[in-house]
Structure 1
Amino acid sequence: MTTHSPARRRAALALGTTAAVALLVLGAPLAASAHVAVSPDTATPGSDVAITFRVPNESATARTVRVEIDLPTATPFAGAEYDPVAGWSARVTTATLPTPLSSDGVQVTEAPRAIVFTAAAGGGIADGQFQEFSLALDLVPTTGRVLLPVTQTYSDGTVVRWDQPTPASGAEPDHPAPTLYITDAPPSGDHAATAGDGGPTIAAHGEAAAGAGVSDPTAVILASAGLAIAVVALVVALFAYLRPRGRASGPSSRPQASGSSSSSSGSGSPSDASM
């Protein structure tokens, strides 16, 4: 029968708790990963394209209540429509073009400048949730790529601006702008990305924080190493708990030898006495 001393059980429990906490703490940045992104991220010049933005909420205390998607003015789209979202109102703002565009034989003098989604009172995107916003854009411009910056506003006044270009190297900035690649190829590893990759850093009072998200290579390496250490600690804890300390005491030759010795001593006494 195997036994486990209270000290051994306490040690195993401590190691197990440490491992669990390490998994939770080190895994939290990975779970919180969620950049604002667009899907698909490629389009053909001169075509119409339907795209979807996925906007996550990364605040534990506030809701996302406003989402503004900016469209380019230097290389504009001829038109834009949005898919209605329950609990949100939307409007398209336009700007006069310096040079008219031709779309289906029609001269276009105004182009969409932004689409603004606003949550109804008491609504919005809550902690741990995301919302998708779909657009239909007309006449994709002939250019390498277009940035589609998103401004995310929270109910506590926090503003996060997703407006940083991703370099050709693919090294993702802290707050990358959703990008539609037209004649340019997406950076390495970006084309396969979906609308839920990466993670923002939220700042208060209208400014985006400068901290790196989990997409930062150093953060990913450290988190992975920490998770590996936590798993090893958990295995050690289980081994320490399950390993037998030793066999329970039972009949053995040693007590018998002791008894025999005593018996011999006892039987020898009469002989000595008789002598």
Structure 2
Amino acid sequence: MFDIVASIVLYNNDKSIEDAIKSFINTDLRIRLVLIDNSPTDKLKYLASDSKIEYIFNNNNVGFGAGHNIGILKYINLCKYYLVLNPDIVFNKGVLEKLCSYIEPRKDIGILSPKVLYMDGSLQYVCRKLPTPVDFFAKRLIPSLFKKRIESYEFRDKDYNQTMNVPFISGCFMFIRSEALKKVGLFDEKIFMYTEDIDLSRRINKYYKNIYYPEVFIYHGYARESATNFKLLLIAIKSSLYYFSKWGWFFDKERQSLNMTAGKIYE
């Protein structure tokens, strides 16, 4: 039985992925890292140079959520916690141990998120409410016209040094109780990329709490590619259309209910 199994989905990654790998395997916990490679060739297989690492080559870009599902399906019954990890994340030794120590006795927590910093040490506002269509499209297309609304959506009016309830945990680092995944299921594979973390967060949040825990921090080389790459922007829009069609556009009572607890201090 592993304490933590993590997966990273790869697609023609550069050498920065090596820092994420080193961060995760630098622990005395019982771990396994699964590299899910969606690249057109298996040139990244050299990354699995440690016995703690497993490399799976898809020979097909199946998407973010579907890629992680490969690892989850294989190890869900073999670990206490499952970590969905981005390839541009780095953190110090001890982070995983602290997350395990915090979540272990708190059985009501389904997903735990640390404080997330940019590489220069400044804060990333990763705490989010479940988005309305206005929140989602305004943030990507015309953020300057909806500044106050976006600030509320990202909890910028809250104290990011407080442990709090967060309906939507960013997919860059989702530390998930395995029992929660068994209860609600895996990532929705109809979503190729960009809203799969919102979908999974809200499904888990129906039965557990999603908690932001700022006593632990990580670094995220956030690129926000959908804002500059037209192809990725189209993928984001397509994913959002599916997401809102699934859960409701402007009449989503569950979204309203889960957002009512958003930002409340967790003790």
TM-score between the two structures when normalised by the length of structure 2: 0.28
Structure (1/2) with the larger strand percentage: 1
TM-score between the two structures when normalised by the length of structure 1: 0.27
Q: Greater Rg, structure 1 or structure 2?
A: 1
Structure (1/2) with the larger helix percentage: 2
